[in-house]
Amino acid sequence: MAELRLTMTAEARNVLTDLLRLIAPAAARVSVNRAKIPGNDAEIASFWTETLSAQAAEEARLLATAFANAKGEPAVILLKNDGQAFAFLRALSAVRIALRELVFADVPDAALESSELLDDESLPTEKRHALACYSCFGLLQQSLIQQLDPEAFD
């Protein structure tokens, strides 16, 4: 697989990095709490929880490091192989889920999908800011998926 590149402005990188510092630790926790783990066998449940926790923590670290190392203008994140790209995709998904559950729990699904909320001045600034980041993480995910599989969204 050829090297994959995610490019963004330095400003976007700074904003996303700041948000990641806040949300990444929670993202790992939320993704484990949200998982429907079979509870009828304690040993399996324990293995299941540990597997999800370890992976979520590792991916949160990967995401934070990738953004921290993306220097310059434009800021570029390089992903060297499928494994890195897939882990990055999963980490972005975990962050979006955490934002959804911790920041936009009161926002209906349909409203979250539309960009109108971004212009809704009745929302607190922090919430609109987090919403913009949520959309940005989605765009990064989409860009990466299209590089990995150009037919994925057909």
Partner 1 sequence: MGKPKIKPEIKTETVPTLASKWNVVVLNDPINLTGYVVMVFMNVLRIQRALARKYMLQVHEEGRATVWTGERERAEMLALELQQWHLNALLEKDG
- Compute CA 90 distance to the chain's CA centroid, rounded to the nearest angstrom: 7
Which parts of 108-127 interact with partner 1 (CB under 8 A)? 109, 112-113
Read off the DSSP letter of residue 8.
Answer: E
Q: Does 135 bind partner 1 (CB under 8 A)?
A: no
Which parts of 39-68 interact with partner 1 (CB under 8 A)? 44, 48, 51-52, 55
Whether residue 117 contacts residue 131, with contact meaning beta carbons closer than 8 Å, is answered with yes
**Of positions 57, 62, 89, 102, contacts partner 1 by CB under 8 A:** 89
The CA dihedral of 130, 134, 137, 141, to the nearest 10 degrees, is 170
CA–CA dist 15, 128 (Å, integer)? 13
| Backbone CA torsion sign across 16, 145, 152, 29 | negative
CB 1, min distance to partner 1, A: 13
Nearer to partner 1, 69 or 142 (CB): 142
Can you read off the two tokens belonging to residue 9? 């402005």
Q: Which residues bind partner 1 (CB under 8 A)?
A: 31, 34-36, 38, 44, 48, 51-52, 55, 86, 89-90, 93-94, 96-97, 100, 109, 112-113, 138, 141-142, 145-146, 148-149, 151-153
